Structure 1
Amino acid sequence: MTAHFVQVANAERIAADVLAEVMTPPPPVDYLRWAEDNIVFTQRESPLPGPYNRDLFFYFDEILRALSPDDPCRVVSVHKSAQLGGTVLANIFTGGSLAMDPGDFLYVHPTENNAQRWSKMKLVPMLKGTTALARLFPMKARDGSDSVLYKERIDGKGAIQISGANSPASLSQVTMKRQVQDDLAKWEMNNAGDPETQADSRSQAHEFAKILKVSTPLVDPGCRITKNFEDGSQEKLWLPCPHCGHPQTLEWENFLANLDEEKPENSHFSCPECGGVIEEHHRPAMFRAARELEKQGIEAWRAENAKAKRFHRSFHLWSAYSLLQSFERIARSWINARGDPASEQTFFNDVVGRAYKTLGEAPPWEALRDRAAQSPYPRKTIPVGFPLVTVGVDCQGDRIEYQVVAWGRDYRRAVVDYGVFPGHISSKECWAFLDALVKQEFVNGYGRRIGIDMLGIDGNAWTEDVWGWAKRHLASKVIMLRGVGSESAPLLARVKKERSRSGKLLSYSKRFYNFATSVLKMGLYRNLVKDDPLERGYIALPRGLDDEYFKQLTAETRRAKRLKTGFIAYEWVKDPAQANEGLDTHLQAEAAAIKLGIRVMPDAAWDKYEADRERPPAAQQYDLEDLMAPGLPDLPPPPPKPKPAAPAPIATRRIVRTIRRTQ
């Protein structure tokens, strides 16, 4: 007989191994050391490829310490500028946690689309390119342990779930020891309520949970990351002066006071103690000096609300601290943005790392009416300095309302006309009226007749009827529009490919655009209060408009609304008794102007439009036979000689001359 031997595991040995693994204290969770040992940037990821450099990201040292189990705080908020390394910080926290102290990890983005994009473009490259993670996440499983939104360690000891704040289902029935709430300012209410509250509750069962909230701010009041910063310890980075050693924070107001508009490359900070000039080349030395002071027990990060440090540490960072951002670029960004509310918002959010303060109240309509009564130009005419013309059209159940707006350099605009036509957009009469409106011409300050460059029509209601009319005109002349209330929405973006119930791609998708109504309203109300015709963003108003127009233009106000969850949301509201089509049509005309390119139009293009349209009409020509014929009509007087070109900006000086001449 053949003997068969069966190898039997030693049960006592297995039990001893398991007990030893359970009883052995885990290694310390040191995110700083883990980053230095594991994070390597490629040329695609960073302008400075190579291993993680603490000298480059000195400002992250204390934030990573706050995220470690050694710090008692539960929540860490980072209120920051864009492109400051927030993704790097979140990746270190995510990857280091999964490698050093495995457990379930939640990573939440504003939407599921954002979540999928981050998983494919950021997470997967990190898992593949980091040796410590590649062996833990081979990403070859076919049993559901590896998908775009869920990845589990090969030993089953931990996993990462990637979710979207717009999906309440992905934020339910899970318990997470650690989580990242990314781009928090862009989170919006979902159909189950407040997503931030939902995400916070996922870690409620863990006494020593860590929640990282990181975002560039948006609009205040109502900005989530700004509220978190103010609720937390409010820590800012203090750096010693390179001249006298006096510790100070780098503040935007200090930089603005030393911003050289003629030579932005000379912009700098100044020390409040000794008055010494602080230039960008001083920053590395200031970082090293701050690190040396930390070794002596002098904190670089100082809290303005120290009592919150035990539970919630919050940090503020902006571009001036980043070695990847030059002072000259900061200065030029402000010079380019100043005077245009939408651009100013982007600047304060992305560069200064501050929420943009809104004007929630509309300006008094009476003040606008009184200013219009003193206007140098009448309704239905175009003043000098505004060579482009757009129209906004709003469709109501029993009427069509429209507004004509002319545009000039530096985001200045002039209201030309406002009107109402009875009927529904599906009627032939309305189509005939709109056809005529597209061909309408208006006389400008030089006596020339100027046609409409682009018309934007509301396509949110009665979409098929609107499309039936719009498709009869060129896409370069007529576009369809739909307002989007999100304060993080782009000013103008083509709608996603829309399909009918049968799945057929709708043809109007190619010329249907969403526009950011909330952002444009905030900008409009800031610009309406400007009374200097030369100021960037100034809005000129004509004589002859009814009071109702000004009431409609200022019909909405941004108000706080307390939800059942206790969260306060902000939305634009109007008096139910007051119509607001004057506001809607103005924003639609502005959206059409954005599509036309006024926000990015170079000076050469403005020069061309002004040369073509801002000059007297040509004299009428007669044949020799006409001159010899009896009954010759009186010849028109010769046109006035064109005024010599003024120094740049040309349109600005023409406006001044016209106003003075007509007053």
Structure 2
Amino acid sequence: MNQIVVETANAERIAYDVLHDVLKPADDVDYLKWAEDNIVFSELESPDYPGPYNRRLFRYFDEVLRALSPDDLCRIVTLAKSAQIGGTVIANIYTGGSMDMDPSWFLYVHPTENNAERWSKMKLAPMLRSTTALATLFPKKSRDGLDSLLYKERADGRGAIQISGANSAASLSQVTMKRQVQDDLSKWENNSGGDPETQADSRSRGVEEAKIFKISTPLVMPGCRITSNFEAGSQEYPYVPCPHCDHMQVLEWENMLANLNEEKPEDAHFTCIECGCEIREYHRQAMVDRIEWRARNPAQKRFHRSFCIWSAYSPLQSWERIAREWLSAKGDPASEQTFLNDTVGRAYVTAGEAPPWETLRDRGANAAYDRGRIHPGGLILTIGIDCQDDRVEWQCVAWGTDFRRWVVDYGVIPGHISEAKCQERLNGLMLQTWANAYGHRIAADMIAIDGNAYTEDVWEWARRHPSGRLIMMRGDNRDSAPLIQRVKKERNQKTGKLLKYSRRFYNINVSVLKMALYRNVAKTDPLERGFVGFPRGMDDEYYRQLTAERRVPKKRKDGFTEYKWEKDQAQANEGLDTMNQAEAAAIKFGVRGLPDVIWKRLEAERETPVQDAQLDFEEGLFARGLEPQTDEDPAKGRPEPTSSKKPGSSWADKWKKRK
């Protein structure tokens, strides 16, 4: 008779194994070593530096990763940084290393659920798949609820990653998390439940040894979340030694800017604040090898360590490229903001209000051109149209090189956009032309009409005109929004049908456009980039409307402070709205990116004098947007040209030198 032997597991042994795993002291959580042992960049991920994680290239992140370790007592770690400097890699190391070395419940929050899904597909999934230490912990199970797009649980159940969007209050509730990453924090907007940062922070309130990593490129101050967190923390800056005298110092953008030769951006460098010697890019790696993080608010190091790093320290960006980016952005506030945010890793301090309207009015009263005429140098015309209950208001603006603009005309059409007479006059506006100083009459190149209100009525009129010349737009007040972005396909909420107007509908970042405009209208040199010119003949109400809004703090019921644009309730603001719409039309037309050859072609086409044309004497005198030296004529109350000038002293001579 054969005996059947059945081998069973030793229950006592299993219990001891479980106790061993539970009671065994955790291994040291060393994110630096884990990165070197596990992170390998492909050529697609890092074309310049493929291969294993090279700690020397990212030496400035060593201390950040140490701060994230349980050995550091701080609870919050903040990193304010430039874009494309390796910050996402650090967040991924923190996430993957935690799941491998010290598994727990981990929350990774993005600005929106769409961002979260994109990160899960494009960043997290490849890391889990290609990292040996993680592949066995997170096996792919397409039909398993433990491996979904926004939730990844370890195979042994000892930890999981929940991926959420800050715009969803529900995804930030009813969970307790030991570790967190709050990514792109500056872009977080309040959700239906209030402040998402407070909601996320509260998810770790019940865990004494919790660690929260806040990381982002700054945006706009006041109101920038990552900048506010940095200032609330230890405020640690990267000090490096001078290669000549060994004096420790921070590489400040202002130092590079002071030494910048605009004719030779390839010569970009720093100057030692101690010995005055030049610090060149070939010194960078040796300096970064000896980097020291020094806190300016050391009392906070035990609870909240905050770090700030920018592109000058990174091998991923040359100093020449930094200089060229600045020269390209200089003079245009919107571009300057992008440069300060993405390259310098610093928040852009807003112009919260315009100069007094009387100042702009007086400047317009003494202008060199009349309302209804195109100022010399204005080569492209755009119109912004704003619809109200009983009228439609419009503004025509001429655009030139160096982001300069000149107001051409302003008008009011009575009636509602749905009325036939109003539409007939708008049709006429589409055909209207304005004269320049060279005998040419020019029609608008691009027109933008506000479609946020009376959308169907606006579309009914707009659809009769070519989309290549007329667009619909609506304002987006988020500081983080693109300057202009086509609206995604929208559908009728009742029928589900695709709305036809969505093909020519655009969102514009009116918040940034207002900030940029209010900086630009303060400029008085007509040759300065971004200069805004006003004609004679505009009434006071126009200037009041143009300067009607202020950026002010608003405290919510939940205690969080938001910064919103606000106008005096008794003051209309259509002058500002139509200016923003005209600028949106200019951006859509391509004013910001037109190459010099196109500008020169437009100049040849539109500013070559028409044969036998009788040019206005004053307009001819002010050709190319220049103002002569003047003497005041008390009798006329307007400047009169000075009859005698020294050679080379006129604005025209100065222009020739600039050209």
- Say whether the fold is shared (TM-score over 0.5): yes
CA apart distance, 1:5: 4.3
Residues 3, 265 of structure 1: alpha-carbon distance in 2 compared, 3 angstrom cutoff: same
Question: Following the alignment from structure 2 to structure 1, what is the Cα–Cα distance between the partners of residues 39 and 259?
Answer: 37
CA apart distance, 1:141: 4.9
Partner in structure 2 of residue 535 of structure 1? 528
Matched ranges for 1:170-569 at <5 A = 170-290=171-291, 300-501=292-493, 502-569=495-562
Partner in structure 1 of residue 33 of structure 2? 33
TM-score of the superposed pair, with normalisation by structure 1? 0.93
Question: Following the alignment from structure 1 to structure 2, what is the Cα–Cα distance between the partners of residues 250 and 652?
Answer: 44
Question: Following the alignment from structure 1 to structure 2, what is the Cα–Cα distance between the partners of residues 653 and 150?
Answer: 65
Question: Following the alignment from structure 2 to structure 1, what is the Cα–Cα distance between the partners of residues 403 and 614?
Answer: 36
Q: Which stretch has the larger CA shift, 11-20 or 109-118?
A: 11-20
Partner in structure 2 of residue 294 of structure 1? none
Question: Following the alignment from structure 2 to structure 1, what is the Cα–Cα distance between the partners of residues 185 and 436?
Answer: 48
Question: Following the alignment from structure 1 to structure 2, what is the Cα–Cα distance between the partners of residues 334 and 659?
Answer: 32
Contact 2:272/2:279 (8 A) holds in 1: yes
Question: Following the alignment from structure 1 to structure 2, what is the Cα–Cα distance between the partners of residues 658 and 49?
Answer: 59
SS in 1 for 2:626: helix
SS in 2 for 1:457: strand
Q: Choose from 572, 578, 581 the match for 1:588.
A: 581
Question: Following the alignment from structure 1 to structure 2, what is the Cα–Cα distance between the partners of residues 544 and 577?
Answer: 24
Residues 458, 506 of structure 1: alpha-carbon distance in 2 compared, 3 angstrom cutoff: same
Contact 2:65/2:94 (8 A) holds in 1: yes
The one-letter amino acid paired with 1:19 is L
Question: Following the alignment from structure 2 to structure 1, what is the Cα–Cα distance between the partners of residues 615 and 429?
Answer: 32
Residues 441, 288 of structure 1: alpha-carbon distance in 2 compared, 3 angstrom cutoff: same
Q: Deviations over 1:292-335 (max 9, x none)?
A: xxxxxxxx100000000000000000000001111101111111
The one-letter amino acid paired with 1:63 is V
The one-letter amino acid paired with 1:7 is E
SS in 1 for 2:289: helix
CA apart distance, 1:616: 2.2
SS in 2 for 1:599: helix
CA apart distance, 1:138: 0.9
Q: Deviations over 1:555-601 (max 9, x none)?
A: 10000011122211100001111111110001000000000100000
CA apart distance, 1:652: 11
Contact 1:236/1:317 (8 A) holds in 2: yes
Partner in structure 1 of residue 656 of structure 2? none
The one-letter amino acid paired with 1:599 is R
Residues 449, 662 of structure 1: alpha-carbon distance in 2 compared, 3 angstrom cutoff: farther
Q: Deviations over 1:143-165 (max 9, x none)?
A: 31011111111111111011000
CA apart distance, 1:69: 0.3
The one-letter amino acid paired with 1:413 is R
Answering whether residue 602 of structure 2 is matched by residue 618 of structure 1, we say no
CA apart distance, 1:272: 1.1
Q: Which stretch has the larger CA shift, 4-13 or 88-97?
A: 4-13
Residues 25, 451 of structure 1: alpha-carbon distance in 2 compared, 3 angstrom cutoff: same
Question: Following the alignment from structure 1 to structure 2, what is the Cα–Cα distance between the partners of residues 101 and 325?
Answer: 34
SS in 1 for 2:435: strand
RMSD: 1.8
CA apart distance, 1:22: 1.7
Answering whether residue 656 of structure 2 is matched by residue 656 of structure 1, we say no
Question: Following the alignment from structure 1 to structure 2, what is the Cα–Cα distance between the partners of residues 202 and 221?
Answer: 26
Residues 553, 131 of structure 1: alpha-carbon distance in 2 compared, 3 angstrom cutoff: same
Contact 1:414/1:540 (8 A) holds in 2: yes
The one-letter amino acid paired with 1:353 is G
Answering whether residue 62 of structure 2 is matched by residue 92 of structure 1, we say no
Residues 392, 558 of structure 1: alpha-carbon distance in 2 compared, 3 angstrom cutoff: same
Question: Following the alignment from structure 1 to structure 2, what is the Cα–Cα distance between the partners of residues 432 and 574?
Answer: 32
Q: Which stretch has the larger CA shift, 270-279 or 610-619?
A: 610-619
Contact 1:376/1:662 (8 A) holds in 2: no
Contact 2:368/2:627 (8 A) holds in 1: no
SS in 2 for 1:285: helix
The one-letter amino acid paired with 2:246 is G
The one-letter amino acid paired with 2:393 is E
Partner in structure 1 of residue 110 of structure 2? 109
Question: Following the alignment from structure 1 to structure 2, what is the Cα–Cα distance between the partners of residues 159 and 439?
Answer: 62
Contact 1:404/1:415 (8 A) holds in 2: yes
The one-letter amino acid paired with 1:196 is E
SS in 2 for 1:238: strand
The one-letter amino acid paired with 2:573 is N
Question: Following the alignment from structure 1 to structure 2, what is the Cα–Cα distance between the partners of residues 659 and 187?
Answer: 51
SS in 1 for 2:177: coil
Residues 207, 618 of structure 1: alpha-carbon distance in 2 compared, 3 angstrom cutoff: same
Question: Following the alignment from structure 1 to structure 2, what is the Cα–Cα distance between the partners of residues 617 and 427?
Answer: 39
CA apart distance, 1:546: 1.2
Answering whether residue 20 of structure 2 is matched by residue 7 of structure 1, we say no
Q: Deviations over 1:597-625 (max 9, x none)?
A: 00000111111111111122234xxxxxx
Question: Following the alignment from structure 1 to structure 2, what is the Cα–Cα distance between the partners of residues 347 and 289?
Answer: 27
Partner in structure 2 of residue 127 of structure 1? 128
Partner in structure 1 of residue 652 of structure 2? none
The one-letter amino acid paired with 1:347 is F
Partner in structure 2 of residue 136 of structure 1? 137
**Unaligned stretches of 5+ in structure 2?**
631-638, 642-659
Residues 271, 653 of structure 1: alpha-carbon distance in 2 compared, 3 angstrom cutoff: farther
Question: Following the alignment from structure 2 to structure 1, what is the Cα–Cα distance between the partners of residues 586 and 286?
Answer: 47
The one-letter amino acid paired with 1:605 is I
Contact 2:438/2:615 (8 A) holds in 1: no
Contact 1:555/1:578 (8 A) holds in 2: yes
- Percent pairwise identity: 65
CA apart distance, 1:240: 0.9
CA apart distance, 1:381: 0.8
Residues 180, 509 of structure 1: alpha-carbon distance in 2 compared, 3 angstrom cutoff: same
Partner in structure 1 of residue 44 of structure 2? 44
CA apart distance, 1:482: 0.7
The one-letter amino acid paired with 1:381 is R
Residues 508, 141 of structure 1: alpha-carbon distance in 2 compared, 3 angstrom cutoff: closer
Contact 2:111/2:187 (8 A) holds in 1: yes
Number of residue-to-residue matches in the alignment:
630
CA apart distance, 1:662: 7.5
Q: Deviations over 1:176-217 (max 9, x none)?
A: 100000000000111110000000001111001010000000
TM-score of the superposed pair, with normalisation by structure 2? 0.93
Partner in structure 2 of residue 21 of structure 1? 21
Answering whether residue 163 of structure 2 is matched by residue 162 of structure 1, we say yes
The one-letter amino acid paired with 2:138 is F
